[in-house]
Amino acid sequence: MSLAPEQITHAGAVVVRRTGDGEPLYLVIQARRNPMDWVLPKGHVERGESTLEAAQREVAEEAGVAAGDGPSLGTIAWSQKGKRVRGEFFLLPEVGTARQEEARAVRWCPFADALALLSFEAPREILQRARDATRT
């Protein structure tokens, strides 16, 4: 059975940390498959879980960061293992630490550095949406 093109199977987040002067830093993580790539935290939505809950869980598991609630940044599609998947991304504030379950490098970067570090166009688009939403 194939998925409808609009079905959301993944969730992820742009997590924001504010510096002492209020400037945003954005969370990027090392990709699991290719450690040379940098990505946003994301993963499968599990049964009974909302996309927001999945995004928060993935941030905790992949980055060791506890994230609060935040607005949707919309959806993007990408190829994964030869299949097209769709994920919803959220703009979430950092609220603390969590137990990191995956051994991945984590970086907090200003927007320009995060944009340059991200390895793929779709996450760059989501990061741009996040920056537009965080401008005060």
pLDDT at residue 4 tops 70: no
Buried b (16+ CB within 10 A) or exposed e, 54-80: bbbbbbbbbbbbbbeebeebeebeeee
Closest CA to 22 of 110, 130, 123: 110
pLDDT at residue 73 tops 90: yes
Q: What is the phi/psi pair of residue 28, to 5°?
A: -130, 150
**What mean pLDDT is predicted for residues 8-36?**
92
Q: What is the pTM of this model?
A: 0.89
Length of the chain: 136
pLDDT tens digits for 89-135? 999 999 998 888 888 899 999 999 999 999 989 999 999 999 998 87
Give bridge partners of residue 86 from the DSSP assignment. Answer: 77
CA end-to-end span of the chain: 45
Separation in Å, CA 101 to CA 5, 62, 83, 119, 125: 31, 6, 26, 23, 27
Counts of helices then strands in the chain (DSSP H, E)? 3, 8
Q: How far apart are CA 62 and CA 65, in angstroms?
A: 8
Domains by residue range for the chain, with CATH: 10-134 (3.90.79.10)
Output the pLDDT for position 33. Answer: 83
pLDDT at residue 136 tops 80: no
